[in-house]
Structure 1
Amino acid sequence: MKYVIAANRIWYKNMPVKLAALTKQEFILIDKKEDLTFELLQDIKPRYIFFPHWSFIIPKEIYENYESVIFHMTDVPFGRGGSPLQNLIARGIFDTKISALMCQEDLDAGPVYLKRPFSLFGSAEEIYIRAAKEIEEMIVYIIENEPNPVKQQGEVVYFNRRKQEDGNIANLTDLEQVFNYIRMLDAKDYPRAFLENGNFRFEFQRASLKNDYVIADVKITKRR
């Protein structure tokens, strides 16, 4: 049996090798938008396509012809939409679930295969690394058990994809908020939490929250 892992983040680069060792099945990694084509999938004929972290719209002809499983870092239907990690932490929510759901036309609205509890403590990089491990275990479960997905239940709450300017900490009023904004954007290839004045931009990472102050590394650049 063949399976596809479609993920465009570094944390999932080695997942196919790990899953092949665990399941004795064949896994193919697709990490570029242009490589996820219907023609390629026709050659592979995967049982499932798993999307642990995919930043692009999945073409309709793909999810209508191949069972496609999305992993979303909220307890859906709460938190459908973009930037789930950052939206949760910005709302002061530090415990969530990772939901494995079937890809359908409506965003993050498909029926759910399973959910796993998940903590949002640590930097974004640490959180994503832990999430990759949790998702790996969920994929093994789905392959071994082929659960029937169940329709989502509850109030639907949508998240908007956060923009780079949303990382501005200038208007925050609480030190814990400042700490959370810095850590929730502290991951490879993510725009950092920042401040700007007339001449300079200050970008923060590796934050630590103390009793009455925050320590963080700062990168200072000239404003363009």
Structure 2
Amino acid sequence: MRIIFAGTPDFSVPALMALLASDDEVVAVYTQPDRPSGRGRKLTASPVKLVAEQAGIPVYQPDSLRDAEQIQQLRDLNPDLMVVVAYGLILPAQVLEIPRIDCINIHASLLPRWRGAAPIQRAIISGDEQTGVTIMRMETKLDTGPVYLTRSIPIQTQTSEQLFKQLAESGAEALLSVIPEIQAGTIEPQVQDESQATYASKLSKEEARLDWNQPARALERQVRGLNPWPVAYTMFNDKRLRIWNAKTVAESKTQTIQHKPGQIISDGRQQLMVMTGEGLLELTEVQLPGGKRLTASQFLNANQVDGICLT
């Protein structure tokens, strides 16, 4: 079967590698144009492009798939199936109609929950007990297509980065399991329940600041959900203190503690805890401007915290 793959970031790579190792033929890879990256703003290829070039697969990097020339170029590849994983370009109806069998997408949530740009992060921040991947038939609207397959993963203490890697691998496995059924016509995608749809809006830097009046459990989820970007933060001595990892302190340890939200509570050596609107949050990995990431003990060895209230 002739497959066109469209994807860009690291999340897309396991699915592409799974297809390259399968019996099907990846005839072309579509990915975003090279972008400036790093302090030097050097043009950098996407992770998908690097994998495709190493495998000797033709790579196409259009700015848009809406003009007639690009659409015809894709049509000339004569694909049976198009697989889209975090590509980053909108596919118009003319493109979706080109593959002989179907155009399918791997989405990092259990649709119809968390359609949109940041499904992994929103699932963590909202306190969902599970998330997963969905393989669906693509439509012109965002993440609305009928569903071929879902695979669930429990959300425990993972950061977005950790869950991202789990879901990328799960999506690749699910893809290989469903493609033969799609090719054979033995599976019928199921229409999504619109009444259950939620939208995962894009993350913003503005939502990274912690509000210590919130419960510790909600703040912990915020920290995990915003790691690795934009990273939760608070103000410490008028400096932005980034919080990479944190955990909720067991209730039995907080019952007799009376401090205002934001107040640092520490043994001065190992534990860096902060009073919240409900319970204590232990900060386990932090970073000051211009510095490296520090464990709580490293931070406490270098900074005086007595009487300080984070804001």
Write the letter of the residue equivalent to 2:207: D
Superposed, 1:75-94 pairs within 5 Å as: 75-94=110-129
Cα pair distance change 1:195/1:127, threshold 3 Å: same
Task: Give the structure-2-normalised TM-score.
Answer: 0.61
Give the SS at the match of 2:206: helix
Write the letter of the residue equivalent to 2:163: I
Post-superposition offset of 1:149 = 1.7
Superposed, 1:97-136 pairs within 5 Å as: 97-121=132-156, 122-136=158-172
| Residue of structure 1 in register with 2:85 after alignment | 52
Structure 1 stretches (4+) deviating beyond 6 angstroms?
none
Give the SS at the match of 2:105: strand
The superposition leaves residues 129-155 of structure 1 with CA deviations (integer Å, 9 ceiling, x where unpaired) of 111111111211222110332212351
CA contact 1:73–1:84 (8 Å) conserved in 2: yes
| Residue of structure 2 in register with 1:148 after alignment | 188
| Residue of structure 2 in register with 1:202 after alignment | 241
Whole-angstrom CA distance in 2 between matches of 1:207 and 1:30:
38
| Residue of structure 1 in register with 2:7 after alignment | 7
| Residue of structure 2 in register with 1:192 after alignment | 231
CA contact 2:96–2:103 (8 Å) conserved in 1: yes
Write the letter of the residue equivalent to 1:139: L
Question: Quick one: percent identity of the two aligned structures?
Answer: 19
Q: Does 1:26 align with 2:20?
A: no
CA contact 1:194–1:201 (8 Å) conserved in 2: yes
Post-superposition offset of 1:198 = 8.6
CA contact 1:72–1:99 (8 Å) conserved in 2: yes
Cα pair distance change 1:198/1:140, threshold 3 Å: same
Cα pair distance change 1:150/1:87, threshold 3 Å: same
The superposition leaves residues 45-70 of structure 1 with CA deviations (integer Å, 9 ceiling, x where unpaired) of 33222223234433343223233222
Write the letter of the residue equivalent to 1:42: R
What count of residue pairs does the alignment treat as equivalent? 219
Write the letter of the residue equivalent to 1:179: E
Write the letter of the residue equivalent to 1:155: S
Give the SS at the match of 1:118: strand
CA contact 2:159–2:224 (8 Å) conserved in 1: yes
Post-superposition offset of 1:180 = 1.3
CA contact 1:97–1:118 (8 Å) conserved in 2: yes
Task: Give the structure-1-normalised TM-score.
Answer: 0.82
Q: In structure 2, list runs of 5 or more residues that go unmatched.
A: 34-59, 66-70, 251-279, 291-311
Give the SS at the match of 2:289: strand
| Residue of structure 2 in register with 1:35 after alignment | 61
Whole-angstrom CA distance in 1 between matches of 2:142 and 2:285:
36
Q: 2:97 aligns with which of 55, 60, 64?
A: 64
